[in-house]
Structure 1
Amino acid sequence: MSAPVSEAPSSLRSARRAGLIDQVIEQLRTQITEGGWAVGERIPTETELSQLTGTSRNTVREAVQSLVHAGLLERRQGSGTYVLAASELAGAVSRRVANARRLDVLEVRRTLEVGAARLAASRRTTADVALLQELVAGRQAARRLGDLDELVERDVRLHRAIVQASHNPVLIDLYDNLVVALQENVRVNVTYISPDDEDHSALVDAVVNGDADAAATEAAAFLDILIEGSDQELDLREAEG
């Protein structure tokens, strides 16, 4: 008498559909990581994605949800689904920074940016110099005009450009995945520091002139002011608590 055949596990029966979901996930991920959909952009609706991928809405819904869990996408009630980050690492960093103390974020920035400034002063190219000078001038103009949004954008781009001038691909990748999450941190910082305290011109001059020690000192200086202020705020809150 032959042995009874056991019923196949449900996971095996759904393998074909799971494989289809994985294909859609990979298509959507590629669209995000290659810049087809920029960070902050709303992606097509589930119906549109279903038509584009030739799959059902249920398949698309599961693929999108997977990328929401991965931190690449964000659902907004009544508005749609938006690109939150360009990579899983950036998404994870964004979630971590969103729940972190301002002081902790500043200390991480100081660790990365001081070293980057030192390297940038030693390795900057002519193209790096031109970009840094353009960005610092734009940053100064935005502050004079009181344009906070433009100031934040220029500030983030300037710090990113200094890191890129280090020409260290690992450092650049780490910072690029952090910088997406720093927008709000930067917004708080630029409103905390008065115009007379810093305009980053000394930092850029040090990098342009190839003075590694001065670049590191200038990169640390304004962050130390912010760290000291955050530390004092934390002590005050703990004392009140």
Structure 2
Amino acid sequence: MPLVTAKRTGLVDQVIAQIRELVTSGEWPLGEKIPPEAELVAALGVGRNTVREAVRALSHAGLLEVRQGDGTFVRATNEISGAVRKLCGQELRQVLEVRRALEVEGARLAAKTRTEDDLREMSACLTERDAAVQNRDSESVVTTDTEFHRLLVAASHNPVLISLYDGIREAVTSSVATTFNPEIPPEQHVSHTALLAAVRDGDPRRAAEEAGGFLDELLAQMGPQAEESGQ
């Protein structure tokens, strides 16, 4: 698939789209080095800064990996796969701990401040999420589960809390992708039905317990912290 000279509008987005297509299509194979910067600049007809910004964005998304002095390599074929590769061990534990702090408070406040529109959006999203779990559709599970928790925190109507949660959105997505196992029977996966019910019933204590409970289970499954286990 040849590279096409980019138009003068939205250069970075166009370059990102072309590189992503080359990666997802397998034209640039997983684990292989992509063409050097000078070659990309010539083929795309854009400046070095545009290419660097596009590569930086795709590296941030987990598709590419920049190795100083060695070049840029294909790390994953899609964002979900890239997200899975980005979190592991102690880093995942830390993200889950931060998620717990924000989501528990978000659920507690949501139980007191949620609107009917909030409930409708969360209910529709949870229905999609549960259907994706039944179908073992990992990509859809990650998308809908992450969105459900975002909607939950948004229902708190606390702009500071919402802003903080938005700041870790990518890490939340990564943690959901990392902890979802499609090999587990659907009925054994975490259900957020009780959490939504607590918010709907206006019960802050129960909502906070439900929001923290499943994250506590995930943390317990990870075993001792890395420092304690000598990892």
- The offset of 1:184, in angstroms, is 2.8
Equivalent residue for 1:182?
172
TM-score when normalising by structure 1: 0.61
- 1:79-228 superposed matches below 5 A: 100-191=90-181, 195-196=187-188, 198-228=190-220
Task: Return the alpha-carbon distance in structure 1 between the equivalents of residues 89 and 225 of structure 2.
Answer: 17
Relative to structure 1, is the Cα distance of residues 116 and 73 closer, same or farther in structure 2, using a 3 angstrom cutoff? Answer: same
Instruction: Identify the structure with the greater helix proportion.
Output: 1
- Check if 1:229 corresponds to 2:221: yes
Cα deviation, 1:88-139, whole Å, max 9, x if unaligned, reads: xxxxxxxx96785222211111111100000111111111110110011111
Relative to structure 1, is the Cα distance of residues 210 and 199 closer, same or farther in structure 2, using a 3 angstrom cutoff? Answer: same
- Does the 8 Å contact 1:139/1:151 carry over to 2? yes
Cα deviation, 1:14-51, whole Å, max 9, x if unaligned, reads: xxxxxxxxxxxxx97xx99xxxx59xx6378757987x
Q: 1:123 is aligned with what amino acid?
A: T
Equivalent residue for 1:42?
17
- The offset of 1:213, in angstroms, is 0.9
- Does the 8 Å contact 1:98/1:181 carry over to 2? no
Cα deviation, 1:164-188, whole Å, max 9, x if unaligned, reads: 1111112111111212122231123
- The offset of 1:216, in angstroms, is 0.2
Task: Return the alpha-carbon distance in structure 2 between the equivalents of residues 73 and 143 of structure 1.
Answer: 24
Task: Return the alpha-carbon distance in structure 1 between the equivalents of residues 203 and 125 of structure 2.
Answer: 19
- The offset of 1:232, in angstroms, is 4.2
- Does the 8 Å contact 2:103/2:211 carry over to 1? yes
Instruction: Report the secondary structure of 1:231's partner residue.
Output: coil
Relative to structure 1, is the Cα distance of residues 43 and 189 closer, same or farther in structure 2, using a 3 angstrom cutoff? Answer: same
- The offset of 1:235, in angstroms, is 8.1
Cα deviation, 1:54-80, whole Å, max 9, x if unaligned, reads: xx7245457x38966xx699866477x
Relative to structure 1, is the Cα distance of residues 141 and 61 closer, same or farther in structure 2, using a 3 angstrom cutoff? Answer: closer
- Does the 8 Å contact 2:103/2:153 carry over to 1? yes
Residue ranges of structure 2 left out of the alignment (5+ in a row): 1-8, 20-39, 66-71, 80-85
- Does the 8 Å contact 2:87/2:178 carry over to 1? no
Q: 2:126 is aligned with what amino acid?
A: V
Q: How many residue pairs align between the two structures?
A: 190
Instruction: Report the secondary structure of 2:160's partner residue.
Output: helix
